[in-house]
Structure 1
Amino acid sequence: MSHIYSTSRLCRAVQLALLGSSAMIMTVQADALALSETAAPERIQVTGSRILREGAVAPSPVTVISGRELIETGAMNIGEVLNVLPSLAATYSLANSGRFIGTAGLSLLDLRGMGSSRTLVLVDGKRHVSSSAGSAAVDTNAIPTAWIESVEIITGGASAVYGADAVTGVVNFKLKRNIEGFDVHALLGTAEDNPYRNHKLTGSFGTNFAQDRGNFAISAEVSGQRGMNATQRRQTRTSYMAVRNPADGDYRDADGNWVHDGIPDSITVANAGWYDSSTAGNFYLVSEAGSVDWFIFNPDGSVRPQDLGTTYGQWGRCSECEFLDLRRYNDLQPAFNRFNVNSKVNFELTPDTLIYAEAKFVRSKGDSEGQPSFFEYDSALMVGRDNAYLDPSLVQLMDSYGINEIEVHRFQEDAGRRLENNTRTTSRFVAGIEGSLGLDWSYELYGVFGETKLEQINRNNLIRTNFAQSIDAIVVNDEIVCRDELARANGCVPTSIFGDNAINAAARNWFNTNSYSNSTIRQTVFSGHLNNSGLFELPAGYVGVSMGAEYRKEESESVPDSFAATGATFLNSLQYEKGSFEVNEVFAEVSIPLLADLPLIQDLVFDAAVRYADYSTIGSAVSWKTGLDWHLNSQLRARATYSEALRAPNIGELYGPQNQTFFRVTDPCGVDQVQSETRRINCLALGIPADFDPQATASTIEGLSGGNPSLTEEKSTSYTLGLVYQPDWLPGFSVTMDYWSIEIDDAISSVSAQNILNKCVDAETGINNQFCALIERNNQNELVLITSITQNVAALTAEGVDFELGYDFDALGGRFNTKLIGTYLDSRKTFSFQDSPQEFDQYAGTVGDARWQANLSISYRYHAWSASWKTRFIDSASLYRQQELAINPDPSDIMSYGSYFVTDLRMGYEFANGVQLAFGVDNLFDRSLPGVTTGTTATTASYHNIGRFYYTSVSYSF
């Protein structure tokens, strides 16, 4: 598809470069610190290349975050610090990690918001075992914070150097090498208006031995946070709902086309929710006149008409009424605890030979408290007239309507909220040897073995049969018992379901169980490479070369609870998953100086890299990269990279079974949703009438999600164009700007349930498409099943400009360090239809993909005093894509979130005895969440949902 949307990329790159220049918003690139004219050249290895380079000049765009910056915050988790960077999306932060079963407590990195599976996380340039079954995603909780020297983020042409998983880039954690002395760091933080708390205690000790030929170090960390519910914050406790706007005057003209009046179709109202379910239990009856009458249970089991307050002509929605408040089941932050211990040793066998070994153990526990079991719409509880717990008022009501049973809708908080405990243990071992062979040759050989085990407990998992037996209670010999005699013999305990807290504890123990699941992920790597930074000399300088080979095996196995897997419980019916693959790779890289010491060409270097991989799943794959590094003079530098890569499906994408799940969606064929002619025609083609008012979408819809054995590899093309400016007349000042572009064909993606529904009926080619095939409806046209499996969608593309500006200088008797890091996102598109490549969704400018994002930091050190100010900016963002607004320009009263600023402040003092004391405030101005969000979705977790947060830290080193 690249020929369709890439014809003018170079022109667009120039336009974006001019945009960045005119805006004069650019930031520091730590990798671009030039050597002073008097300094001796030093050859070191930088992220993005295995060839030793002079100074710290990287051939590709690299953002560097120091270990000090990561530690000097109130965050317990380094992933939370990194996820606020403009180039990273908060797809899996602690705030939203409870969105799926088995993910609570994970903190994953997602460069460019194009998926954590496309971001390669390394530790000292080496792969790390995954923390999520079936994927290659690394949990940042497994990285030892005490030893982080820096984090380097590279976003251009990384696949050929490090592997095809680096489609959008690499995040490399560089750890300190030789550690000496004792360090301890403690942090304690508390939120201002809610019960959120966090803590962290780290300790590190290192020493040399054998006359300084060897070094041994060990570190340990204990950290955690207290969970927080949405109802425990003033800002998030109110329940809001989007409802039909009574003032909306949109209508269909004579040709069936919608005419929009500019008045929002829906409005957001407070103290609103779903009236078609209740924690007390409710039901509806249809009168002889055809009216629908709702009734609800009192605490004593008696029945009365339900207060529906104001309804809006939509099934199940009301305000200022007796409604189900789902905010009560929304956790803003999970309860989380972590312990890790790390050790490392290296020994110099000879002046040219070093052996090393590393070992780590990490244990983390994340808890997610979700909704209780519920029964509504087509799963409502059938209760007969002879039920032993029926109140006389209910019997009388049933008689008046001439019925013998009712269908009770119930959100069973008194049966216990479903609690998920996820305990992950990660072990990782590294051993290797490195050294030099002669003057310019160096080598490294190493092996890595890692294993992550996940133990998952799902508590209060309702057993459907036991529950049905328990609520089917009758009177026998003046005693209330379960109707089923065999169930009685097995210990069945009867219970009422009429009213809040009606379920008794004994019955709850009878029909609830704990379900136990486990997963194991293993990684084995053997790798070696040989480097020469001065293979031979050309007129412009020395040629550098690197070559190597790698063997890797990835294994993943998930064993669900055998009883829950049968579908006998309320928990999703998850199935056994096992898969593995092996890959053998060879790679090479070369750096060739082309020109030097010419007018406007101080030096011009050509870089190239290639990696050949043989996968056990897809066969061979080739990734390659080329680049130019052009120093016009000592102040101005230009760089460019171009790369192509193939990414094989990971284990979960390929082998994942189709597991049961549930979706809350809006039916696009509902009478309010059919806004375009294409959608109207397609809905009619599905046999759905124009006046269809769905009831099923007031509830959750059953779904299947999982892998797809028919997947093929995805192909990516990326390139960057950049400038680095370091004026001689202003030492300490640096500006960089890099345009980047990523295109992925046949992209492996799991399409959301809502997008499946929308794309089915929005396809211009009709309903015979890949998405309609994933939807099932019943005879009443209600949705009953949505299958969301990974697919090779047509393409994903993204392009934008990264900019950095920094100025470090002496003033007021101390040292100022300033840095501005930002990104302008020009485009992020999804092309969903292989046979209609002209159709796409544009996400740039929407929530989670704001056009502009930037971080400004200013720090000042004066003798023993230090202070820092950090402000994060997210541009205003739309809640609707351009393609949606083209169909319906006035869907809601909340169309976008405004510009968002969050500021953090920190002050510290270092005593003469080595003790450092610091006090900080995150979200200094207590910036509220935008709109009515809770900041817990994949797109809104970038907004701060804890509120103003105070912390104190104490450090000691000797």
Structure 2
Amino acid sequence: MKLKKLAHLIALIGAVSPAVAQELQQNTPMARVEVTGSSIKRVAKEGALPVQVISFDVLQKQGITSAEQLLSVISANGTGADNPTSGNNVFGADADRVSGGASFASLRGLGPNSTLVLINGRRAPTHGKSGKAVDLNTIPMAAIARIEILKDGASAIYGTDAIGGVMNIILKSDYEGAEASAYTNITEAGGGNIHRGSIIAGTGNLEEDGFNVMATAAFTKNEQLASKQRAFANGFQPQRGLSPDTTGTPFANQLTGAGTALGTGFRMPNDANTYLQANPLSFQGKCDTVEGMSQYQTALWKDVTSPLRSTYSCSYDYGGDYVMQSPSEQANLLLRGSYKLAPDHKMFVEAIGSRSEVISILTPAQISTSLANRNAYPVGGPYYQDLSAFIPTYNRNLPIIYKWRANPLGNRTQENTTESGRLLVGFEGTVQNWDYKFGLSKAQSTTRMELLDGYAYTREFYDVLGSGIVNPWSLDGSQTKAAIDAIERTKYRGAFQTGKTTMAQIDGTVSGELFQLPAGALAMAAGFDLRRESYLYTQDVAAEPILLSPGNANLPKATRDVKALFAEFIVPVTKDLELQLAVRRDDYSVIGATTNPKVAFRYQPANWLLFRGSANKGFLAPSFTQLYTGALPQEMASGVVDTVGCAAHPGDARFCAPDRFDYLSGGNQNLRPETSKQGTLGVVVEPFKGFSASLDWWAINMKDRILNRSPTIVLQNPVALSGNIIRNSDGTINYVQAGWINAAGAKTRGIDLGLRGDGKFDGGFKWNATLDGTWTDSYKFAEIEGQPYKEYVGLFFTRDLYLRWKHSATFSVSQGDWNVLVSNNFASGYKDQLPNAGKGTPPPGFDPDVSSYTRFGLSTTYKGFKNTSITFGIQNLFDRDPPFTAHNVDDVVGAGWDPRVADPRGRAYTLNLTYKFF
């Protein structure tokens, strides 16, 4: 029957026809429901926007228990640095080094700020430390009923920060009974195991008893996975174009400098070249006798200014010394009570709480000593290293300066504890066929960082080095007890940073039918949203005296009020054509007001065919961090030229050869909001019963993107960023304003594909198949206004990768108490980074392409035991290693692999037991 066929299609892809709704209403009264993408409750009918729905059952069968695993199966999510492994390490100027092991969604790769995460349709608190977006680790995964992902901008419906889309996490409600679940995920190669236990219980039927009370609690533990536990995490593969550029080695490299043993440079016999670093192990070809060290590969790291700087140096694969999965523990709690006030009226109280502890472990500090800081190694010290046997000009009567990986100081270890919570009191009901909902909520998230090891007071630590008691040239890394005790006395351990976000919100919506039009009822919704948001970021101790201390400058508590009014209409134009019209006005107390409209349509000329599309505008206000982070006065390196000033005053050293420039980094209260224009156009077909397909084209244009820019980039763009170069009255540069600026724009286009199928085999077997994929046709942006847009799809980039194609697919077969599920995740390849960003010389046979990455999973579920469900699964069934990449580890974490694309855990076995008590 065609109408039933269409109903099946709509239930799967979110596009229900009026005819189906009419037939369903004739047979069985159905409750009106609100779906993501609209504020209007409707009978068996959703809007015209592409919505992906992921059920808890599918998550459980695939063994998905963490935010990272969840994001990997959402093809519309970006391939970027917004995960704990990537965000915990090096990612350039735009990196968020205070995310504390958080996981963020980034739909369309537009960044976490542009993706709105909702819990049951309402906002959740942003991460306490970074303040930019919701940390998905705080979501109670065990309490999820389903996840709805709106792959279209929704600023007119939900708020200005929904440019990239909306992730609406629907939690279980009105649960009756009790069940406990235990889950374990064990890797075959060892390390990185995951364990979780949860319990849910509830009593009372809202309709029959007039109340329901439920609670769910879960505890998850992630064990550490180190790069040393995986063979592919190897940064020394010079034959493939990959080798470390870092000369801060556990067995130190000597540096050149006036007044030192090596002088300002050295030459070798019959060699006219000048060299700037030296290591006796390098001269002997024995760099690899120390774990993690290797001979410096000059051919891969040629530099225009000093091509032979490190020829006689050793390098260190600190990228192969990373922690690929941080040890962490998360506890989540959901309490919910519902009470029936009267027929068609209820109130509920909902409390969500979470606590996350993440141990972030970085490699030991890399330090460079100098004569000026009086921390050179003294002449006559017990470990004085004489290189005169290798370098004829070596002066053994002068001190040594060196670059060293300070392993005796310990791994830089931070403990980030985040406590988040939201208390919501809500009212919902119906008055004369008009639905209403009203909510009052308070949410907050607090993150505290404690330094556990690897951090020392700079002056005290360098004084110890200058005393000569520490041996920077120990082959096995050992030190005397006196040296260890001296280093220990320089360390700082204890509370370091605190970040806190708060949000108080009052919201309300009414929806219903206004009047009848010839083609049907004109429906509308109207509502308001009042929020007060705040953020603070403080150092518990002064950070400046601590060597390589992480974090940002202090940000005293900043507060802003947001007032919003919105309206939405569903207009039936004909029996086959329907329009969705929406408008929202947001007024930010510190930014100003913005009005954003949206128009969408759904046209269904036949039962098996549906067309849909939308067009809307977006507005993304700067975050607290971008606006108010404290300015850090710093000094640029020498050799930087004022190109504009020098052109106007040729030969004047004040402009053409200045000593140094001062600069400020941090927040910028003059930032303009990011704005966008975007749209979708799609088609949905169901040519026969049991199969449906959707194809949706999308496009987004953004202006005034907010990016963090270095002073060097500012000086390289003196015309476009003239306002960031602050000059004195005589025209010389006073200082450079770096940090957060409004850069240029971005343009991205692509297609989402959705396939759904189900049916029966002989013998009573039922099957179901799904595929959700995203084809990114183009992602262009310009770094600075006025510069040409550059295409990034399929190319290496340091912050995000814009892959051509990503998909997730499942195929399941069930009969009776058995179910078998096969899953597949795929990410296309891209052009690799050339050695030294193209300056080096790739080795013969260098492969410029990073291969695609695909993983299969297999699970089986059995429910034949009374009240018991058992699921056994294998993740990464064929044990696929991450694809090799030759990128520079200083730009992107990982050594020979990329954590933005791949899962380093390898094949893993999962077991989930669920028992229902009643």
TM-score class, shorter: 0.7 to 0.9
Is the 8 Å Cα contact of residues 65 and 141 (structure 2) preserved in structure 1? no
The aligned residue for residue 17 of structure 1 is none
Q: Does 1:845 align with 2:791?
A: no
**Alignment partner of 1:201 out of 173, 197, 204:** 197
CA–CA separation in structure 2 for the residues paired with 1:861 and 1:900: 29
Secondary structure, aligned partner of 2:625: helix
The aligned residue for residue 829 of structure 1 is 780
Q: Does 1:454 align with 2:447?
A: yes
Secondary structure, aligned partner of 2:125: coil
Give 1:62's aligned amino acid. V
Give 1:587's aligned amino acid. F
Give 1:953's aligned amino acid. N
Is the 8 Å Cα contact of residues 471 and 479 (structure 2) preserved in structure 1? yes
The aligned residue for residue 614 of structure 2 is 641
Secondary structure, aligned partner of 2:678: strand
The aligned residue for residue 749 of structure 2 is 799
Larger strand fraction of residues:
1
The aligned residue for residue 718 of structure 1 is 678
Is the 8 Å Cα contact of residues 217 and 344 (structure 1) preserved in structure 2? yes
Residue pairs, 1:564-579, within 5 angstroms:
564=543, 566-572=544-550, 574-578=552-556, 579=558
Residue pairs, 1:362-373, within 5 angstroms:
362-373=354-365
Q: Does 1:630 align with 2:603?
A: yes
Q: Does 1:97 align with 2:97?
A: no
The aligned residue for residue 584 of structure 1 is 563
CA–CA separation in structure 2 for the residues paired with 1:804 and 1:774: 50
Is the 8 Å Cα contact of residues 416 and 449 (structure 2) preserved in structure 1? yes
Unaligned runs of 5+ in 2: 1-8, 90-95, 256-261, 651-660, 728-734
**Alignment partner of 2:24 out of 39, 53, 64:** 39
**Alignment partner of 1:955 out of 881, 899, 914:** 914
Structure 1 residues 376 and 160, CA gap change in structure 2 (3 angstroms): same
Q: Does 1:225 align with 2:222?
A: yes
Residue pairs, 1:743-754, within 5 angstroms:
743-751=701-709
Residue pairs, 1:162-561, within 5 angstroms:
162-208=158-204, 212-240=209-237, 268-269=240-241, 272-274=243-245, 276-284=247-255, 285=262, 286-287=265-266, 291-292=274-275, 295-296=278-279, 308=295, 311-312=298-299, 322-376=314-368, 382-383=375-376, 385-386=378-379, 388-391=381-384, 401=395, 403-438=397-432, 440-458=433-451, 459-473=453-467, 495-499=470-474, 500-502=477-479, 504-515=483-494, 516-532=496-512, 534-561=513-540
CA–CA separation in structure 2 for the residues paired with 1:392 and 1:48: 69
Residue pairs, 1:695-710, within 5 angstroms:
706-710=666-670
CA–CA separation in structure 2 for the residues paired with 1:395 and 1:939: 42
Secondary structure, aligned partner of 1:926: coil
**Alignment partner of 1:57 out of 28, 36, 46:** 46
Secondary structure, aligned partner of 2:142: helix
CA–CA separation in structure 2 for the residues paired with 1:553 and 1:430: 15
**Alignment partner of 2:55 out of 60, 66, 74:** 66
Q: Tell me the TM-score normalised to structure 1 length.
A: 0.79
**Alignment partner of 2:630 out of 654, 657, 661:** 657
Structure 1 residues 378 and 67, CA gap change in structure 2 (3 angstroms): farther
Structure 1 residues 892 and 510, CA gap change in structure 2 (3 angstroms): farther
Structure 1 residues 878 and 237, CA gap change in structure 2 (3 angstroms): closer
Q: Give how far 1:574 is off.
A: 3.5
Give 1:338's aligned amino acid. Q
Structure 1 residues 28 and 936, CA gap change in structure 2 (3 angstroms): farther
Q: Deviations over 1:176-215 (max 9, x none)?
A: 2210111221111111223221111111001106852100
Is the 8 Å Cα contact of residues 382 and 408 (structure 1) preserved in structure 2? no
Secondary structure, aligned partner of 1:65: strand
Q: Give how far 1:309 is off.
A: 7.0
CA–CA separation in structure 2 for the residues paired with 1:197 and 1:317: 43
Structure 1 residues 353 and 842, CA gap change in structure 2 (3 angstroms): same
Structure 1 residues 452 and 872, CA gap change in structure 2 (3 angstroms): same
Structure 1 residues 913 and 277, CA gap change in structure 2 (3 angstroms): same
Give 1:376's aligned amino acid. S
Is the 8 Å Cα contact of residues 224 and 327 (structure 2) preserved in structure 1? yes
Q: Give how far 1:442 is off.
A: 1.3
Secondary structure, aligned partner of 1:362: strand
Unaligned runs of 5+ in 1: 1-25, 242-266, 475-493, 597-602, 670-678, 689-700, 777-784
CA–CA separation in structure 2 for the residues paired with 1:310 and 1:845: 28
Give 2:910's aligned amino acid. Y
**Alignment partner of 1:120 out of 111, 116, 119:** 116
Structure 1 residues 886 and 815, CA gap change in structure 2 (3 angstroms): farther
Q: Tell me the TM-score normalised to structure 2 length.
A: 0.83
Secondary structure, aligned partner of 1:469: helix
CA–CA separation in structure 1 for the residues paired with 2:24 and 2:597: 34
Give 1:552's aligned amino acid. R
Q: Give how far 1:417 is off.
A: 1.1
Is the 8 Å Cα contact of residues 75 and 774 (structure 2) preserved in structure 1? yes
Structure 1 residues 509 and 661, CA gap change in structure 2 (3 angstroms): farther
Secondary structure, aligned partner of 2:697: strand
Q: Deviations over 1:138-191 (max 9, x none)?
A: 111222222212111112241101001001111101122210111221111111
Is the 8 Å Cα contact of residues 739 and 802 (structure 1) preserved in structure 2? yes
Q: Does 1:946 align with 2:905?
A: yes
Q: Identity over the aligned pairs, expressed in percent? A: 23
Is the 8 Å Cα contact of residues 129 and 446 (structure 2) preserved in structure 1? no
The aligned residue for residue 868 of structure 1 is 821
Q: Deviations over 1:415-446 (max 9, x none)?
A: 111001111011210101111111x2111110
**Pairs aligned (count):** 830
Secondary structure, aligned partner of 2:606: coil
Is the 8 Å Cα contact of residues 221 and 328 (structure 2) preserved in structure 1? yes
Secondary structure, aligned partner of 2:487: helix
CA–CA separation in structure 1 for the residues paired with 2:249 and 2:723: 33
CA RMSD of aligned residues (A): 4.0
Structure 1 residues 27 and 81, CA gap change in structure 2 (3 angstroms): farther
The aligned residue for residue 71 of structure 2 is 82
Q: Does 1:741 align with 2:724?
A: no
Structure 1 residues 858 and 546, CA gap change in structure 2 (3 angstroms): same
Residue pairs, 1:104-115, within 5 angstroms:
104-115=100-111
Is the 8 Å Cα contact of residues 29 and 804 (structure 1) preserved in structure 2? no
Q: Give how far 1:893 is off.
A: 3.0
Give 1:944's aligned amino acid. D
Q: Give how far 1:381 is off.
A: 7.3
Q: Deviations over 1:776-802 (max 9, x none)?
A: 9xxxxxxxx998622212211111111
CA–CA separation in structure 2 for the residues paired with 1:668 and 1:188: 56
Q: Give how far 1:607 is off.
A: 1.2
Structure 1 residues 911 and 387, CA gap change in structure 2 (3 angstroms): farther
Secondary structure, aligned partner of 2:423: strand
Q: Deviations over 1:358-389 (max 9, x none)?
A: 01221111111112122138799742544543
CA–CA separation in structure 1 for the residues paired with 2:198 and 2:362: 32
CA–CA separation in structure 1 for the residues paired with 2:611 and 2:818: 39
Give 2:198's aligned amino acid. T
Q: Deviations over 1:619-649 (max 9, x none)?
A: 1111111111111122111111111122211
Give 1:276's aligned amino acid. T
